[in-house]
Structure 1
């Protein structure tokens, strides 16, 4: 049957199937539409597969193209493959590039991890630019080594270790999907990346805080007033950075000096009342004005569809600039203002450790200081002691805040 005959059959409009070639049929529906069907037998079963609509490409299949598609179907059957069964297989088998596999892995991270934005950020920034567009089976150990060496060259050993871990997990994910048989990142260890990481011990003294906040204040063009207040809150309240930057105004009862931190935003997954020293209230009022009716204390400084509060890296980058951009790729050169002031390098998370250390210096009992940081209490005490020590924590944080503000 040639193309002219097919058009005549379609014009006639009578529904039915018409044999065109080996196993290839021209089917006309009751609605006067035409489709190509291939019949084949596999495992002693007769099957029919619709391969497309009759018409001009790209919307339809011409007679010539339909014959080619039918030939492809027959070739699959000759190999023992059932084309209908193959179509029903998971779409995951069609993932090809590292970016595609990584995105599927990151979706798992979204469900499993408390902070899935961290591996996503490392992947997008440090892994994808190097290998993201390659097919997953084209990546070699040399590519992985290049990634971790590039990160190390930018003086970010911790990120190098993180990137290596993420690479191992991505290629393990590809193995689970049946896309590869060998994990190219497996031969490498922390020794090849950022080295064995030591627990940080850096904590600032009262004297260092005096110098640090003076440098912040004198360089407000680099370290904004919002950043200044955020760091003050971190060291005076002992909260985690993520708990602070994502805070919403409805969580605060400033008239009663209480922050109700909901369970879903705490690392312990337990809600906690955080006492706010009265001396900090004026800073909250200032933030309220600066936030310009945002629901967040620290609203995003650029329009973002992802979230309404500042980036996880905002404070980190601002502090790094005052250390001459230490720990980051140096796109711009900045003077090491804090180093020149005699301050040993520290990072934002060290402010939480500083809070804990200064509470001890002020002779605050250990169990009170630990609860000020909302640490889980281990062992029998953590099970049976449900008292939240609110008044004791209020006294401790007020004492600490007064000492700090006296220096500023």
Structure 2
């Protein structure tokens, strides 16, 4: 006969005292703060004590919990059945699609990744559209090739290599979980994707910048005003692409001429105050009007569930289309950041100031002890660069 009764259970829950109350033969009523109660069975498996949750009190009455506990005890004793282990296996069975597999992999990897949002962005942008709804075990090497081909035809070799590496890791995870017998991406190499990557050293000098911005300005139907101003800001602020495209108006104090870039969007994971030169403020004022009340400096242009702001692909895709017409020599958005560093040097900026203008993490002893943000020095340097570019942008 159990030690609990319906009356005693009601009294326990009414008291709201958390604890574990035995009914006998390993069955317990577990009460959490606030009076929430559930049934659990304590048992031993391989010399280890385990606790298995049967169900919430209310869904399981006392008599029902005793019956369920009795059935479980019989299976444990007769068949060596481990209910905790089986519940874990049932959770793994919920991985039915590649989307499910990615979520499981990402949850595990997030503990080790410095920037967990990066692989999610890569997956959602390039892998999910073709493979997300497919069962992992149904994916073939031809499906992997389709993902790679879709990226390479849009002339994004680095992205193709990143997507291939991500798929290899993802399907290896599926093999670990016994969802796949083999990795459909394993036979592919970078030669099948974007090719062996070489470090870029592309810099646009003032003469090339002048001619390129003139071409961009003359083609608003192919390169919108928002794209044009985004390139101007990247060239004069030196920030990373998504640090700018995901910026919110609440981060700016245009009267003081400052941008407070939050740590969660900064690659160095530190908040940084960025000075804004007069030309930059005038471009931001125009963008504020163009944003039509949006919280973002660069709002999304189409209905999209992926991004509430301009897509990461928008600028490079627009530049690629014009470069394909042989209107100017091809360059990427990141080349503007490299050009900004070159412009800093051309106006006589000291290297340690230039590195802080780029929001680079300073390594070694200097990075540990020199915590000064050099705001005034950065402001002076960026004013000089903005003055050069303002004549080009107009």
TM-score clears 0.5: yes
Residue 173 of structure 2 corresponds to residue 188 of structure 1:
no
How far 1:224 moved relative to its partner?
Answer: 1.2
Partner of 1:232: 232
Kindly report which structure 2 residues correspond to 1:200-219, keeping only aligned pairs within 5 A, or say none: 200-219=200-219
* Deviation, structure 1 residue 291: 1.4
Write out aligned runs for 1:3-402 (5 A).
46-47=74-75, 82=81, 88-90=87-89, 91-108=91-108, 113=113, 118-120=118-120, 122-124=122-124, 126-128=126-128, 131-132=131-132, 134-141=134-141, 143-145=143-145, 147-149=147-149, 151-324=151-324, 336=325, 339-340=326-327, 343-402=328-387
SS at match of 2:260: strand
The Cα shift of 1:195 comes to 2.0
Tell me which moved more, 124-133 or 272-281.
Answer: 124-133
* Rg (Cα) greater in structure: 1
- Shift in Å at residue 351 of structure 1? 0.7
In structure 2, C-alpha distance between the alignment counterparts of 1:145 and 1:310, rounded to whole Å: 28
Structure 1 residues 219 and 150, CA gap change in structure 2 (3 angstroms): closer
Question: Would the alpha carbon gap of residues 82 and 238 (structure 1) be closer, same or farther in structure 2, given more than 3 Å must change?
Answer: same
Q: 1:145 deviation in Å?
A: 4.7
Shift of 1:227: 1.2
Query: Bigger CA drift: 394-403 or 303-312?
Result: 303-312
Deviating more after overlay: 276-285 vs 144-153: 144-153
Quote the Cα distance in structure 2 between the aligned partners of 1:114 and 1:214.
Answer: 40
Report deviation, 1:124. 4.7
**Which shows bigger deviation, 186-195 or 313-322?**
186-195
* Structure 2 unpaired stretches of 5+: 1-59
8 Å contact 2:257–2:277 — kept in the other structure? yes
1: CA distance, partners of 2:224 / 2:319: 10
State TM-score, norm by structure 1.
0.70
What is the CA–CA distance in structure 1 between the aligned matches of 2:110 and 2:69, rounded to whole Å?
44
Number of residue equivalences:
330
Q: What is the CA distance between 1:228 and its match in structure 2? A: 1.1
User: 1:400 Cα deviation (Å)?
Assistant: 0.8
What are the Cα deviations for residues 224-243 of structure 1, in whole angstroms up to 9, with x where unaligned?
11111111110011111111
Q: 1:344 to 1:109 in 2, by over 3 A?
A: farther
Q: Distance in 2 between matches of 1:122 and 1:296?
A: 22
Q: Which moved more, 1:184-193 or 1:108-117?
A: 108-117
| Residue range with higher mean Cα deviation, 308-317 or 383-392 | 308-317
TM-score, scaled to structure 2? 0.73
* Matching residue of 1:62: none
State the match for 1:25 in structure 2: none
Structure 1 gap segments, 5+ residues each: 1-29, 49-76, 325-335
